[in-house]
């Protein structure tokens, strides 16, 4: 069976929820419809003429792009101009475009994590926090027979995540009591009689943003008509997400060695560097896209070098004064999202036995060339 456009988007939004995007960003479905079965999906960094041609040739009906195809408000839809012609071509071939931009940058396991992984950063932290979610404790009481069912439903809705661990909970057995009053149809016991039941107390951690959905899932899986549960505020640091990553190298390298390493790992034709080639690099910050305005943050956090793109002359000078080296690897390093996102989607679709094919665009959309 082929997956519907909507089904595919639900999968990617679990990786990078729209709510993580910056306020100014333009994300989500931009062209076409998701209400149709999709034979082939293609991931792309940019949507330009060549990418649309590629999609047509390869029979793609949904493009998931990093950069929005419509960013500034449209003033017209003129097919005698390149931007209008591009949109007209997409519509004529019934190709939908969905953009996941800063939400993919910020996402846990998204673009900046892919870059940090590729550049072999360890003990990685977020460079600039853009999103915080308070943690809470959720406690519920379940008859022993339904312990697994209820806990699985809660965990699947996102409860019990601590660091890189899911399904975290503490469960203890005890006795629950209740007296069904008039008008009830109790799952256990009878009206007017105090009941003692072997129950399990399940306690787990939830993020505030997930509270409604976890409780809904818990109630749906719970056999009781009145589900008893408590929610406690926690005095713990919030769950955070953000732009860029900062981490350490397993072995220090010189700036020159590391720049060569970056070039090789990210498949680049060239990089620009700021700083002495012999300087030792131990701590590295990385931010896909235009990272010029995050250089001082990286310096403040103790990075020896920042790997990013689109760094301006004066930004580079300011960073240099602060003792930060730069590897300007171009905006094109974000192309890492093409294969990574494609394999993420393919894997998730296969788990659900969908036959939809996922490919990564092979078009090189970087306008810059190196001589």
3-state secondary structure of 251: strand
Is there binding between residue 291 and Zn ion (CB under 5 A)?
no
How far apart are CB 45 and Zn ion at their closest, in Å?
8
Instruction: Give the separation between CA 297 and CA 275, rounded to whole angstroms.
Output: 17
Choices 151-159, 164-172, 222-230, 284-292; region in contact with Zn ion by CB under 5 A:
284-292
Residue closer to Zn ion (CB basis): 247 or 289? 289
Among 5, 110, 289, 330, binds Zn ion (CB under 5 A): 289
Residues binding Zn ion: number (CB under 5 A): 2
The answer to whether the CB of 31 falls within 8 A of the CB of 96 is yes
User: What is the number of the residue whose Cβ is closest to Zn ion?
Assistant: 289
List b or e across 139-178, with b for residues whose CB sees 16 or more CB atoms inside 10 angstroms.
Answer: ebbbbeebeeebbebbbebbbbbeeeeeeeeeeeeeebeb
Q: Measured between alpha carbons, how far is residue 101 from residues 48, 109, 192 in Å?
A: 16, 14, 58
**Cα end-to-end span (Å), the chain:** 48
Instruction: Give the separation between CA 126 and CA 237, rounded to whole angstroms.
Output: 14
Residue closer to Zn ion (CB basis): 103 or 204? 103
Residue closer to Zn ion (CB basis): 275 or 288? 288
Instruction: Give the separation between CA 117 and CA 120, rounded to whole angstroms.
Output: 5
Binding track over 17-56 against Zn ion, x by CB under 5 A = ----------------------------------------
Q: How, if at all, do strands 135-143 and 62-65 pair?
A: unpaired
| Closest C-alpha among 105, 237, 212, 87 to residue 159 | 212
Choices 81-89, 142-150, 333-341, 363-371; region in contact with Zn ion by CB under 5 A:
333-341
How far apart are CB 111 and Zn ion at their closest, in Å?
9
Residue closer to Zn ion (CB basis): 157 or 337? 337
Residue closer to Zn ion (CB basis): 346 or 365? 365
How far apart are CB 67 and Zn ion at their closest, in Å?
6
Which residues in this chain contact Zn ion in the complex, by CB under 5 A? Answer: 289, 334
């Amino acid at each position: 069976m082929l997956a519907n456009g909507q089904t595919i988007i639900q999968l990617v939004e679990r990786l990078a929820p729209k709510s993580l995007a910056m306020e100014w960003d333009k994300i989500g479905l931009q062209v076409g419809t998701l209400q149709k079965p999709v034979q082939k999906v293609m991931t792309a960094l940019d949507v330009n003429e060549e990418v649309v041609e590629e999609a047509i040739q390869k029979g793609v009906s949904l493009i998931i792009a990093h950069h929005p195809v419509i960013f500034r408000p449209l003033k017209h839809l003129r097919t005698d101009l390149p931007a209008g012609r591009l949109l007209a071509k997409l519509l004529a071939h019934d190709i939908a475009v969905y953009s996941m931009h800063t939400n993919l940058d910020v996402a846990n396991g998204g673009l900046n994590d892919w870059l940090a992984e590729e550049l072999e950063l360890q003990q990685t932290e977020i460079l600039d926090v853009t999103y915080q979610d308070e943690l809470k404790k959720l406690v519920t009481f379940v008859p022993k027979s339904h312990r697994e069912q209820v806990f699985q439903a809660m965990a699947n809705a996102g409860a019990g995540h601590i660091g890189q661990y899911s399904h975290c909970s503490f469960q203890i057995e005890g006795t629950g009591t209740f007296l069904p009053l008039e008008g009830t149809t109790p799952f256990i016991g009878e009206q007017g009689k105090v009941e003692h039941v072997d129950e399990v107390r399940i306690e787990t951690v939830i993020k505030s943003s997930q509270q409604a959905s976890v409780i809904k899932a818990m109630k749906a899986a719970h056999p009781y008509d009145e589900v008893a549960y408590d929610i406690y505020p926690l005095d713990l640091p919030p769950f955070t997400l953000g732009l860029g990553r900062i981490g350490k190298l397993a072995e220090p390298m010189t700036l020159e060695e590391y720049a060569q390493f970056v070039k090789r790992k990210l498949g680049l034709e060239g990089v620009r560097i700021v700083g002495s080639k012999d300087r030792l690099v131990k701590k590295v910050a990385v931010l896909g896209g235009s990272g010029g305005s995050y250089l001082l943050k990286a310096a403040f956090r103790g990075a020896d070098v920042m790997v990013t793109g689109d760094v301006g002359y004066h930004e580079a000078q300011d960073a240099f004064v602060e003792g930060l080296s730069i590897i300007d690897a171009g905006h094109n390093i974000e192309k890492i999202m093409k294969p990574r996102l494609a394999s993420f989607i393919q894997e998730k679709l296969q788990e659900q036995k969908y036959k939809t094919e996922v490919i990564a665009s092979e078009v090189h959309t970087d306008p810059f060339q190196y001589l």
